[in-house]
């Protein structure tokens, strides 16, 4: 069950991130969209905190994954596949439950683990630059 259904969303997020990100077998470079004080999350604990909040080590985290999101679309600008690493970048378009739209830029890198399953080793996300 998810956050909105009152389920154990923190455990669900922990298990999902542990499965999808390569923290167990590789260095992971993760720069979350809205992190400003602890901008880089090099371990599973920091990644989970960003997505679901509730960790005193990361008081700025509000739980990006439990935000008011209704839809998500990826618009890839390009990708590179070299040896056993794949990298993709582009824009992600998020729609909130009230209809407001948010655009963020992303770059993600994937590498197979020992079982041949792709895992994330690079995740950079930021809001687009707004000229002054």
Full-model pTM: 0.90
List, for residues 45-100, the tens digit of each pLDDT value.
999 999 999 999 999 999 999 999 999 999 999 999 999 999 999 999 999 999 99
Q: Rounded to a whole number, what is the distance in angstroms from the first to the last CA of the chain?
A: 43
CA distance 75 to 49: 26
What pLDDT shows up at residue 58? 95
What pLDDT shows up at residue 115? 96
Tokens 């950079």 appear where? 124
Domain segments of the chain as ranges:
9-126
CA distance 38 to 15: 22
* 9-126 topology per CATH: Nuclear Transport Factor 2; Chain: A, (3.10.450)
CA–CA distance from 131 to each of 79, 92, 128 (Å)? 27, 20, 10
124: CB partners within 8 A, 6+ apart: 29, 30, 31, 106, 107, 108
Residue 1: band (very low, low, confident or very high) from pLDDT cuts 50, 70, 90: low
19: CB partners within 8 A, 6+ apart: 119
């Amino acid at each position: 069950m998810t956050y909105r259904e009152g389920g154990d969303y923190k455990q669900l997020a922990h298990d999902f991130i542990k499965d999808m990100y390569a923290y167990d077998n590789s260095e992971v470079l993760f720069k979350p969209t809205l992190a400003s004080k602890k901008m880089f999350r090099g371990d599973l604990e920091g990644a989970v905190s960003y997505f679901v909040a509730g960790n005193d080590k990361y008081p700025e985290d509000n739980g990006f994954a439990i935000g008011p999101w209704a839809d998500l679309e990826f618009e890839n600008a390009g990708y590179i596949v070299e040896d056993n690493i794949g990298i993709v970048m582009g824009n992600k378009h998020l729609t909130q439950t009230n209809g407001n739209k948010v655009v963020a830029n992303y770059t993600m890198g994937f590498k197979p683990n020992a079982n041949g399953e792709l895992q994330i080793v690079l995740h950079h996300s930021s809001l687009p630059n707004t000229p002054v």
